[in-house]
Chain A
Amino acid sequence: MIAFLSETYGNRELIWALALKELRVRYKRSILGFVWALLNPLLTMLVMTIVFGNLLRFSLPHYSIFLLSMLLPWTFFAQSLAYSVESIVGNGELLKKVRVSRLVFPVAALISNVINFLLSIVPLLLLIVVMRFPVHWTWIYLPIPMIGLFLFTLGAAFFFATVNVFYRDVSHIIQVILQVWFYVSPIIYSVDFVPQRYRWLFRLNPLLYVLNGFRLSIYYGLLPSLSSMSLSLGLGVVALGIGFSVFRRYEKSFVYYV
């Protein structure tokens, strides 16, 4: 853990530059530029609200906010993973030219998505204001699931980026996994819709606690239980621990497979 923090800190300028470069390149040549970071979730939310919101309108008032509260962190997770899986392989040429800290690439991929995520909160706020939805005091809790989310995502990023170097299928498999994971997580629907006997399955989803943290504070104005809070953070720490150790173990050989 300490090795991770010190090496990341030592490379902070490079990581930041790479993250910004990632964003700049993503939106270059486009007229709207980074505004897409805001528009994307809004448009997705719009489509989903029309499709699913009309079915669930009765039990879930202000469906768009219900949806967005989990959709935004989910999008962060899914996009971060998609970008970081390829982060080592994609920078293969660089690894062969210069000595560089390997962890820089997945971390930069994550940071660029963190920025995207934070930007995407703006339309959520706008929506809340427009719909006269209350901003609950529980928003204060948000840093905790955010940190938990970032840690967990980073751990997953390290892990999959590593495996992808040796088995290139991983980047494709991830796409499929993310699709399934999306529908298995109560993002478009509420856990209440699931019959009791299947609820335990949902609790196996490590992202549940973090996502719930977001929805509870933003939509319901409630705080999650203490166990949920600790799981949010704990799972993140564990994921990072595992992910980073795997990464560390194989990072020296990346250059030969890339």
Chain B
Amino acid sequence: MYSIEFQDVVQRFRRIRERPDTLREVFAKITRYKKKFQVFEAVRHVSFKVSKGEMVGLIGRNGSGKSTILKIVAGVYTPSQGEVTVRGSIAPLIELGAGFHHELTGRENIFINGLLLGLTKRQIKEREERIIEFAELGDFIDSPVKQYSSGMYMRLGFSVATEVDPDILIIDEILGVGDAGFQQKCFDRIQRFRNLGKTILFVSHSTENVRSLCDRALLVHRGELILDGPPDDVIARYEQILKIVQPVGK
């Protein structure tokens, strides 16, 4: 049984182009209030299947569509075309700190963040101590989050998200945070998830991480899935692509 199935998925966005060429056009724009729209296909006919317990790495250049694919899996976007099937609960670690409000304390934010990620009040209460401990925030847990450093902020977000204990974990390039000690803790936790047979979808720019952690890798380029296979092969192809430098969106 597959944890994640993508069948011919297309994701389109409306891209607004506001680029007046001349002063006259600026004037005309204000009076007519007309914007030009372009359809941008961020994800183009992508199909793949992820089995339960697999750890899959998604690599590709910036703007290739990796994060969009993750967001589709996480349910943030509903694809314009195609079918997505996800079996099991999901915890997205995409841009940590979903729902955090800067005026609230770390403790209060754990609560809201936990609820948003699908925990019940009781579950959050049970896990609260562990979350605080893992985040290594000490006393600061009772200070408003606006007083946190960005590292503290991220640690808190990561800590809550991993306590959610989902079937599928989705991680988007956020492992570059924290000092080496904390990074190690993050990896240990991810490893623990693997050992428990959880499915992990992992976006990274660090080919080293992908090589050492993942069973499989997907190479995304300009919205298309170019290669799907063992990390070494996929990374090699990725490195080839990196040599050809071109702006995104052409």
Could you tell me which A residues sit within 8 Å of B by CB distance? 13-14, 17-18, 21, 24-25, 28-29, 94-100, 252, 255-256
Contact = CB atoms under 8 A, between A and B. Distances in A.
B76 A94 contact: no
B112 A17 contact: yes
B98 interface: yes
B76 A255 contact: yes
Contacts of B117: 98
A97 B108 contact: no
Interface residues of B, number: 25
B116 A24 contact: no
A94 B98 CA distance: 6
A14 B108 CA distance: 13
Contacts, number: 54
A211 B151 CA distance: 52
A205 B203 CA distance: 55
A9 to B, nearest CB: 13
Contact of A21 (B71, B98, B101, B121): B101
B84 interface: no
Contacts of B103: 24-25, 28-29
Contacts of B75: 99
A13 B121 CA distance: 7
Contacts of A98: 74, 76, 92, 94, 98-99, 116-117
A25 B13 contact: no
Contact of B104 (A25, A94, A97, A256): A25
B13 A256 contact: yes
Contacts of A96: 71, 76, 95
Interface of B: 13-14, 71, 74-78, 90, 92, 94-95, 98-99, 101, 103-104, 108, 111-112, 115-117, 120-121
Given A98-B74, A99-B76, A13 B98 contact: no
Contacts of A99: 74-76, 90, 92
Contact of B115 (A13, A95, A252): A13
Shortest 4 CB-CB distances between A and B: which pairs?
A99-B75, A97-B98, A98-B98, A14-B115
A133 B13 CA distance: 62
B162 to A, nearest CB: 15
B111 A17 contact: yes
A240 B175 CA distance: 45
A246 to B, nearest CB: 18
B108 A21 contact: yes
Given A13-B121, A256-B13, A97 B112 contact: no
Contacts of A29: 103
B78 A14 contact: no
Contacts of A18: 112
- Among A21, A25, A28, A256, the most chain B Cβ lie within 10 Å of the Cβ of A21
A214 to B, nearest CB: 34
Contacts of A28: 103
Nearest to B13: A256
A29 B71 CA distance: 36
A17 B76 contact: no
A70 B222 CA distance: 59
A96 B98 CA distance: 9
Given A21-B104, A94-B98, A98-B116, A255 B77 contact: yes
